[in-house]
Structure formats: structure tokens, C-alpha cells
């Protein structure tokens, strides 16, 4: 059993969990993920690692309460236990040799982007960061990004905080101002990563995206997380989750991501009734 050491609310539906998992922490690196089970009979859900503390033996994940399992998870507090935390899984994000980087986070993807920005900063790279959210009440981790960014820009769709617009709007300005980047890391919704990759491709700027499709076992056996990258079938859990954004077939990934919408909504509604939660 894996104890929840701390639980914190970052925004109305976003929680941060610090979980004791010393064997996971021992080998975890930025970009990798774990698979958790909230209860013994629960589903296996991949969660990208936000941070680790080797001294405490803890791993931190940031979770948006949107589906059946995350609703169940939200009923737990510090002192409660998860049934499983398996990992670290996937390949670590490659930051070697990067001296000037642009890190782009969209929504909850910002939680995954932060350890990448931290790793870049720790190796002495110049780091510009652009974060995008729908509105002010959904902004998370701004102070943490300030600590690891040379320049930080926060965008909101409705203009209620930071600058109004999308992350690609700010990216255009930075690129057109002759800011040369060795690499761009984009992490967020599939549509966001698609348009970030379309924007950077004509400039020839290497762009890395983090893919998080449906997974079951996390070892490449089930095939549920398959993607098409460069015309070849790959598996996000073992070949990724990072891929060349200019090679990813985003349209296919977006289409496959919608396959289970009806089932997920049914399970979500059942969980809301079971745990008496209102997510409307």
C-alpha cells in the first residue's frame, strides 16, 4: 500500500498528491510516468510524475478530477493509501545538449512541463516558458515555473489573467523576435500540441511532444497506447511518451482519443452518484 503523505488543492478540480513510493523514486527521471490503482479492484491509470523527493521517498502527481477513477481518488486524504503505484515507466525526457529552450504547457500539461523546465535550468540552459489556460481560476504552478524560467508568459483564452490568447500566439512573437531555440518542448491537449508542431515545423525547430493515450499495462503488451509516428506504429508507454511533434499523426491520435467518450461519461456519472460529487 502506498500512503498519501500530502494532498493539496491547486484549482477547483486539480489536486496535488504526494505519495510515499521509495522504490519508484529511486530511478525516476523527468518525463516518466507511473500507473496507479486507487483500490484493489480499480482501473490502472497512467499519471506523469510531477516531482520526486529522494530524501522523503515520495513521488508527486497532479490530477484533474474528471473521470471515475480521479473522482474516487479525490475521496482520499493524507493518511489514506493507494493500492498500487507502478513505475517509473516510459523513457525520460532528453534534455542533453540543449542550451536554449522553449517550454510550452497547456492546462494540466503544465504539471508535466515543470520537471522538464527544471531539468533544463539545472543544466544551465536558458529557459523561456509559455503556459496556457482557459481562464484565471484554472492557472496552476505559476510560482514554481518562475523559479525555473528565465522568462515566463501566462496566456488565458478569455484574457482574465496574463495575456489574452493561445500559447501559439506568444510563440509566434518569440520566434519572430529572432529567439533561436535549440528545442521546444510542448505538453498539453492533443490539439494544442498539434498546432504548436505545425507552427514550429516551417522554422525547423526540433519540437518534442508528450503523448498520453489510453494505456492498460504500461509495458507495450496491450497495444492500447499505439500511435503513428513517422508512418510507423509505436507505443507511447515504451517508445515514449516523448516523440518528435513533426512526425506524430495527431489527427489519428485525436480520433482514437474519442473512442471511449461514451463509456467514460457513463462511468463518470456512476462515480458522481456513488461518491455524491457534483462536477457540473
Sheet holding 84-89, edge to edge: 45-48, 33-37, 84-89
Find out whether 33 and 97 touch, Cβ atoms under 8 Å. no
For residue 36, what are the β-bridge partners?
Answer: 45, 85
Predicted local distance difference test score (pLDDT) of residue 268: 57
236: Cβ–Cβ under 8 A, 6 or more apart, which residues?
Answer: 90, 211, 212, 213, 215, 225, 226, 227, 243
* Nearest C-alpha neighbor of 248 from the set 215, 212, 209, 202: 209
Predicted local distance difference test score (pLDDT) of residue 261: 67
Predicted local distance difference test score (pLDDT) of residue 221: 83
Structural domains of the chain, ranges and CATH numbers in brackets: 2-89 (2.40.30.10), 100-210 (3.40.50.80)
Predicted local distance difference test score (pLDDT) of residue 68: 85
**Residue/partner pairs of 179-183 with CB below 8 Å, 24 or more apart:** 179/100, 179/102, 179/128, 180/100, 181/100, 181/101, 181/102, 181/128, 181/205, 182/97, 182/98, 182/99, 182/100, 182/101, 182/206, 183/98, 183/101, 183/102, 183/207, 183/208
Question: How confident is the prediction along the chain (280 residues), in pLDDT tens digits per residue?
Answer: 799 999 999 998 899 999 999 999 999 999 999 999 999 888 889 999 999 999 999 999 999 998 888 999 999 999 999 999 998 999 999 999 999 999 999 999 999 999 999 999 999 999 999 999 999 999 999 999 999 999 999 999 999 999 999 999 999 999 988 668 999 999 999 999 999 999 999 999 999 999 988 888 888 888 888 999 999 999 999 999 999 999 999 999 999 887 766 756 666 566 666 666 666 5
Predicted local distance difference test score (pLDDT) of residue 22: 94
Predicted local distance difference test score (pLDDT) of residue 219: 81
pTM for the model: 0.91
Q: Which residues in the chain belong to E strands, given as ranges?
A: 2-11, 14-20, 33-37, 45-48, 51-53, 58-64, 81-82, 84-89, 100-106, 126-133, 151-156, 163-164, 183-187, 207-210, 226-229, 232-235, 242-244
Find out whether 117 and 129 touch, Cβ atoms under 8 Å. yes
Amino acid at each position: 500500500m502506498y500512503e498519501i503523505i500530502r494532498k493539496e488543492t491547486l484549482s477547483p478540480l486539480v489536486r496535488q498528491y504526494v505519495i510515499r513510493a521509495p522504490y519508484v523514486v529511486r530511478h525516476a527521471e523527468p518525463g516518466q510516468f507511473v500507473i496507479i490503482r486507487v483500490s484493489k479492484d480499480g482501473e490502472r491509470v497512467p499519471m506523469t510524475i510531477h516531482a520526486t523527493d529522494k530524501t522523503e521517498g515520495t513521488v508527486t502527481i497532479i490530477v484533474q478530477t474528471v473521470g471515475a477513477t480521479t473522482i474516487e481518488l479525490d475521496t482520499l486524504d493524507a493518511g489514506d493509501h493507494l493500492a498500487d503505484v507502478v513505475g517509473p515507466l516510459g523513457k525520460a525526457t532528453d534534455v542533453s545538449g540543449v542550451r536554449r529552450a522553449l517550454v510550452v504547457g497547456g492546462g494540466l500539461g503544465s504539471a508535466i512541463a515543470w520537471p522538464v523546465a527544471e531539468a533544463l535550468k539545472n543544466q544551465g540552459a536558458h529557459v523561456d516558458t509559455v503556459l496556457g489556460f482557459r481562464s484565471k481560476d484554472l492557472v496552476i504552478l505559476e510560482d514554481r515555473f518562475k523559479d525555473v524560467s528565465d522568462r515566463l508568459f501566462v496566456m488565458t483564452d478569455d484574457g482574465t489573467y496574463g495575456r489574452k490568447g493561445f500559447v501559439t500566439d506568444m510563440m509566434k512573437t518569440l520566434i519572430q523576435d529572432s529567439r533561436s531555440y535549440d528545442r521546444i518542448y510542448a505538453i498539453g491537449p492533443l490539439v494544442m500540441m498539434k498546432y504548436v508542431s505545425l507552427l514550429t515545423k516551417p522554422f525547423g525547430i526540433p519540437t518534442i511532444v508528450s503523448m498520453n493515450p489510453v494505456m492498460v499495462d504500461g509495458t507495450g503488451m496491450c497495444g492500447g497506447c499505439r500511435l503513428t509516428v513517422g508512418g510507423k506504429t509505436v507505443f507511447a508507454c515504451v517508445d515514449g511518451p516523448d516523440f518528435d511533434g513533426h512526425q506524430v499523426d495527431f489527427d489519428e491520435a485525436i480520433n482514437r482519443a474519442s473512442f471511449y467518450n461514451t463509456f467514460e461519461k457513463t462511468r463518470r456519472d456512476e462515480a458522481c452518484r456513488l461518491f455524491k460529487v457534483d462536477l457540473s
